[in-house]
Amino acid sequence: MPGREHRCAALGLMATLGIGFLVLAASQTQAQKRQKAPPVAKEAPHTQMQEVTREQQPGAKEAVQADVSARNVAVTSSFNGIEIVIFGAVDNSQQSSAESGYYDVMIVVEGVPGRIVVRRKNNVAGLWLNTSSATFDVVPSYYAIASTRPIDEITTEEFRASHGVGFQHLRFTPAFGQTQALSTEDLKEFREAIVRLKEKQGLYIQDNFRVAFIGKSLFRATIELPANVTVGPFETRVYLFREEKLLSQYTVRLNLEREGLERHLHRFAFGYPTLYGLMTVAIALAAGLIASTVFRRAAH
Amino acid sequence: MHFYLPVAEMSANILIFLAMGGAVGFLSGLFGVGGGFLMTPLLIFSGIPPAVAVGTESAQITASSVSGAFAQWRRRNIDFAMGTVLLAGGIVGSVLGVQLVGSLRRLGVFDFFVAACYVTFLGVIGTLMLIESVNTMRKMRGGTSVSSRRSGQHMWIHGLPLKLRFQRSKLYISAIPPFLIGMFVGLLAAIMGVGGGFIMVPAMIYLLRVPTNVVVGTSLFQIVFLTAATTALHASQNQTVDVALAVLLMAGGVVGAQFGAVAGERLKAEQLRFLLAALVLMVGLRFAWQLIAPPADLYSIGAAVGGA
């Protein structure tokens, strides 16, 4: 058998793959650099913050302003969740110190709403299998509430219902054209299951004492976006309350985007699935042939 | 060290999946099996969505079986005519299987179906292998020689039309049985994320009566092309092939297989078969447990697939 030619062919394949990996690796490190550098540069609210401390006038109407530590988060191959710092300040703060508890702040971070299927297992002849399901639309992929005190002490029930704040007020709507007709109680159970499972996955978070004032007008909170979070735009809403009354509200957006190798592979897999499949097969064939050549030579 | 998998959409520990590939590679080298029936369950139990586990594993089997097929080809142990008929059936089966995976996912019963398939096939094959290896070991101890292949028997299979001459196998039989066997294996390969050698090899020996020296080579030849086709189909139809995960598994697998093959030379064939049977049964039982045990949470959530 012409072993020499096979070895040459395998070496050629190895070289091609090697170069391919180097190119991919290079694009990835670039993406990581991009991820690390810009968030600091992009935060420009320092000027605003200085104004806040300058304009303290008693009796004037309070307003809240806020920003997040990273407005653009790159999801690269090394992405393993991220902690976001949300900070803000109360304009014309009337409170005497950080500890006075004069104001209450509530922060809601919401991911892209999407369609979700909930399934329920049943025991059929001794075996557990999914027998019923419900599909909901407008289910936020991520939902976190952080506040200075429990939200039912800060806000009224009407407020929470009208603003869709709190797990029980999320506006999941049963998708049109459900295959199974479901009773109201079933729907309620399915809805609760979504919240419970999302909480377990760290995608729905409620923390009643996460927001802390660190001065008479400055406050901050940290919120975790776990590794399994869905990429896309996130809306961060900051509410300022005084005795259950909404004084001011502020909205910041943050964006999670695939970058580098991660972005290329994902786009390739979902945008050109056939080509992607063929590439995977080519990699598999090359890997197998290279391995057999390398190990056969090592054995001799 | 973590890597965010682009299709599975989760952060995976690189070392764990490399080790997993290595361990299964070692066992597949040791027993001379593809390892799909071990790897797919391991992936599922480690949290990879079952559909992604199945799709990705077919890519890894392509990689691990191509070197074996190549070696067999060099030794002229492949019956290309037989392999082609088996493959033709296999691809038909795979197309059907990939469609079935899509429909089952939409119905939300894919996980159940995979588990049920594993319990059934691993249970039956594991039990048969266990009985056979125990019998062989007992006979070897008794000193009687074990007769291998009974040949020259006429069965209903030989009455079918479309007869073809399979030169390497020294057979003149209808193309229909190998086509159907290939189709069945293709269906299983697509649903279970396996190469199907564990069905193909006994079927070729006992049903088609292919000489044992060409069975392994022909089966490997068929598996390479079948799993390659299945990978491409899963990727294009269901978008459930994660190339990053596949590369990790391949890297671990090829290294593990070399060590496994060396270790395998030190064990006797019937001992190997006994161990393999025990392993097969254990995986089957693990899936059975999943079907019978009350789940921790009756509810599960997932993204809507294909418009639900």
Are A195 and A271 contained in the same domain? no
Partner residue facing A130 (CB), from B60, B112, B237: B112
Asked if residue A43 is part of any domain, the answer here is no
CB-CB neighbors (< 8 A) of B303 in chain A: 114-117
Average pLDDT of B93-99? 92
Are A16 and A163 contained in the same domain? no
Q: Do the strands A143-147 and A204-207 form a parallel or antiparallel pair, or are they unpaired? A: parallel
Q: What is the pLDDT of residue A50?
A: 41
Average pLDDT of A192-199? 92
Are A139 and A24 contained in the same domain? no
Asked if residue A42 is part of any domain, the answer here is no
For the residues of B84-127, what is the DSSP string, one character each? HHHHHHHHHHHHHHHHHHHHHHHHT-HHHHHHHHHHHHHHHHHH
Average pLDDT of B193-213? 85
Structure tokens at A174: 């049963």
Partner residue facing A117 (CB), from B2, B9, B308: B308
Asked if residue B306 is part of any domain, the answer here is no
**pLDDT band at residue A248, thresholds of 50, 70 and 90?**
very high
Q: Which residues pair with A65 in a beta bridge?
A: A89
Overall number of domains in chain B: 1
Q: Which residues pair with A129 in a beta bridge?
A: A122
Residues whose CB falls within 8 Å of the CB of residue A78, separated by 6 or more in sequence, listed in order? A32, B2, B3, B4
Average pLDDT of A245-259? 92
Q: List the single range of A9-13, A45-49, B108-112 with lowest mean pLDDT.
A: A45-49
Asked if residue A47 is part of any domain, the answer here is no
Q: What is the pLDDT of residue A51?
A: 40
Are A157 and A191 contained in the same domain? yes
Residue with tokens 């161990």: B275
Q: pLDDT tens for residues A134-171? A: 888 889 999 999 999 999 899 999 999 888 888 988 88
Alpha carbon of B181: minimum distance to chain A alpha carbons (Å): 24
Q: Is B296 on the interface with A (CB under 8 A)?
A: no
Alpha carbon of A146: minimum distance to chain B alpha carbons (Å): 25
Which chain B residue shows the shortest CA-CA distance from A276?
B235
Are A234 and A245 contained in the same domain? yes
Helix crossing, B14-31 with B243-264: angle to 10°? 40
Asked if residue B135 is part of any domain, the answer here is yes
Are A84 and A225 contained in the same domain? yes
**What sign does the CA torsion over B137, B143, B148, B153 have?**
negative
> Which position has the higher pLDDT, A274 or A177?
A274
Q: What is the pLDDT of residue B181?
A: 93
| Arithmetic mean of pLDDT over chain B | 85
Q: What is the pLDDT of residue A228?
A: 86
Overall number of domains in chain A: 2
Asked if residue B145 is part of any domain, the answer here is no
Asked if residue A49 is part of any domain, the answer here is no
Residue of A48, A73, A49 whose CA lies nearest to A236: A73
Asked if residue A41 is part of any domain, the answer here is no
Whole-number Å distance between alpha carbons of B264 and B17:
23
CATH code for the domain of A69: 2.60.40.3880
Asked if residue B303 is part of any domain, the answer here is no
Q: What part of A 19-78 touches B (C-beta under 8 Å)?
A: 75-78
CB-CB neighbors (< 8 A) of B109 in chain A: 129-130
Residues whose CB falls within 8 Å of the CB of residue B234, separated by 6 or more in sequence, listed in order? A277, B54, B55, B58, B98, B101, B190, B240, B241
Q: pLDDT tens for residues B9-42? A: 888 889 999 999 999 988 888 887 778 888 999 9
| In chain A, % of residues over pLDDT 90 | 39
How far is residue B66 from each of residues A281, B168, B219, measured CA to CA in Å?
11, 20, 11
Q: What is the pLDDT of residue B22?
A: 92
Q: What is the pLDDT of residue A65?
A: 92
CB-CB neighbors (< 8 A) of B70 in chain A: 288-289, 292
**pLDDT band at residue B227, thresholds of 50, 70 and 90?**
very high
**pLDDT band at residue B144, thresholds of 50, 70 and 90?**
low
Asked if residue A46 is part of any domain, the answer here is no
Average pLDDT of B300-305? 74
Alpha carbon of B296: minimum distance to chain A alpha carbons (Å): 11
Ranges of H-type helices in B265-305: 269-292
Average pLDDT of A233-256? 93
Whole-number Å distance between alpha carbons of B25 and A258:
32
Task: With CB atoms and an 8 Å threshold, state whether A288 touches B63.
Answer: yes
**pLDDT band at residue B145, thresholds of 50, 70 and 90?**
low
Asked if residue B304 is part of any domain, the answer here is no
Task: With CB atoms and an 8 Å threshold, state whether B10 touches A227.
Answer: yes
Are A131 and A225 contained in the same domain? yes
User: The domain containing residue B41 runs over which residues?
Assistant: 2-140+176-292
User: The domain containing residue A9 runs over which residues?
Assistant: 1-36+259-300
Are A268 and A287 contained in the same domain? yes
Q: List the single range of A73-87, B21-35, B233-247 with lowest mean pLDDT.
A: B21-35
Asked if residue B213 is part of any domain, the answer here is yes
**B87 and B219 Cβ atoms separated by less than 8 Å:** no
Are A248 and A266 contained in the same domain? no
Residue of B230, B247, B252 whose CA lies nearest to B18: B252
A with B: how many residue pairs have Cβ under 8 Å apart? 186
Q: What part of A 73-112 touches B (C-beta under 8 Å)?
A: 75-81
Q: Is B3 on the interface with A (CB under 8 A)?
A: yes
**pLDDT band at residue B72, thresholds of 50, 70 and 90?**
confident
Asked if residue B132 is part of any domain, the answer here is yes
Are A250 and A266 contained in the same domain? no
Are A144 and A224 contained in the same domain? yes
Asked if residue A118 is part of any domain, the answer here is yes
Q: What part of A 209-228 touches B (C-beta under 8 Å)?
A: 227-228
Are A118 and A244 contained in the same domain? yes
Asked if residue A273 is part of any domain, the answer here is yes
Average pLDDT of A186-198? 90
Q: What is the pLDDT of residue A94?
A: 86
Query: Which bin fits B279, alpha (ψ -120 to 50), beta or left (φ > 0)?
Result: alpha
Residue with tokens 């564990």: B198
Partner residue facing A280 (CB), from B74, B243, B298: B243
Q: Residue B148: is its pLDDT beyond 70? A: no
Average pLDDT of B48-75? 88
How far is residue B119 from each of residues A15, B229, B285, measured CA to CA in Å?
43, 25, 7
